[in-house]
Structure 1
């Protein structure tokens, strides 16, 4: 599952007040990333297999003018496949990091091609919601607070979003107020 929790060994300190966080260690950190179904070694294998398969129809024409007519199209197809795979891997660099302190919660979405998006709120005032049927995806997970509603883990499977909701709900209920 593309979810990683990191929790502090100690309990969260007593809350000294709203937004008075002084840079102490976070109580918990949640890191989310899209699932990678094809590792880099699989990518190399697919490129090698595709190159070999392109040679099958090309082999009978070696040494003829038809070979030189077909070759640019096959090279262009291989280059397009390579570039599309690289684009897919680049898009997969998306991560979301949710950090929870006793008096502050921060979400940072690291986008591969644009600047980072951030959201902060007081955990006492946020509302964690799991929308089974409402939203762009099933089990749409949102955090509402600080004047905004933000989505969390839209790239996860519905079951993974439900598990994150359960874990985060338990964590938020344990925080001192």
Structure 2
């Protein structure tokens, strides 16, 4: 059963070109180690702590072993915080008639913006030595940073693609 508008012959009309994405990305923070690699590294850190603290325990300075255990705990907590912050992401989608940006925090809090891509300006903050430092979308007095957790080279590539999509959106929809 078909749902939606139909033409005289009963078939569905073709997709509207205005709804086709010109640019669509999901950006996530980069993590250099997987969860399995972190577990292996924690095992090695724990073994190193045990081996290093063993001589102190044998000579009677057993409180030193607790401090080595604290080191392992601190490394574990640091990686746990890193992996929880990796749950954040940004979705950006540009069509000929709409630019939508959705930012989701590590806790799942979502913020969304919608703009007309014709009126959006892309502002790139460049540093001569360090490359692209910040990318902002500016529309109706709003300034929204995008791709904040990408590195300079990835930000430049992202900004180039987004800028090209905004240019195509300004040229309008092609129905032929």
Q: Say whether the fold is shared (TM-score over 0.5).
A: yes
**Counterpart in 2 of 1:170?**
164
| Match for residue 81 of structure 1 among 70, 75, 92 | 75
Q: Which runs of 5+ in 1 are unaligned?
A: 1-9, 15-23
Separation of aligned partners in 2, 1:48 and 1:126: 50
Structure 2 unmatched runs, 5+: 1-13
Any residues of structure 2 matched to 1:4-15 within 5 Å, and which?
Answer: 13-14=17-18
Per-residue Cα deviation, 1:135-177 (whole angstroms, up to 9, x for no partner): xx84421111143011111221111111111111221222326
Q: Is the 8 A contact 2:88 2:105 kept in 1?
A: yes
For the aligned residues, what is the CA RMSD? 2.7
Q: Does residue 102 of structure 1 match 2:96? A: yes
Displacement of 1:121 after TM fit? 0.7
Greater CA radius of gyration, 1 or 2? Answer: 2
Query: 1:152 maps to what in 2?
Result: 146
Taking structure 2 as the reference length, what is the TM-score of the superposition? 0.75
Partner SS state of residue 102, structure 2: strand
1:34 paired residue among 26, 29, 33: 29
Relative to its length, the structure with more helix (as a share) is 2
Confirm or deny: 8 A CA contact 2:136 2:145 kept in the other structure: yes
* Aligned residue-pair number: 156
3-state SS of 2:43 partner: helix
After superposition, what is the alpha-carbon deviation per residue over 1:70-117, rounded to whole angstroms, capped at 9, x for unaligned?
Answer: 333222221221111100111122211102232211111111137222
Matches of 1:29 and 1:115 in 2, distance apart? Answer: 21
Aligned equivalent of 2:113, options 110, 116, 119: 119
**Would the aligned equivalents of 2:27 and 2:147 in 1 still touch at CA under 8 Å?**
yes
SS state at 1:156 partner: coil
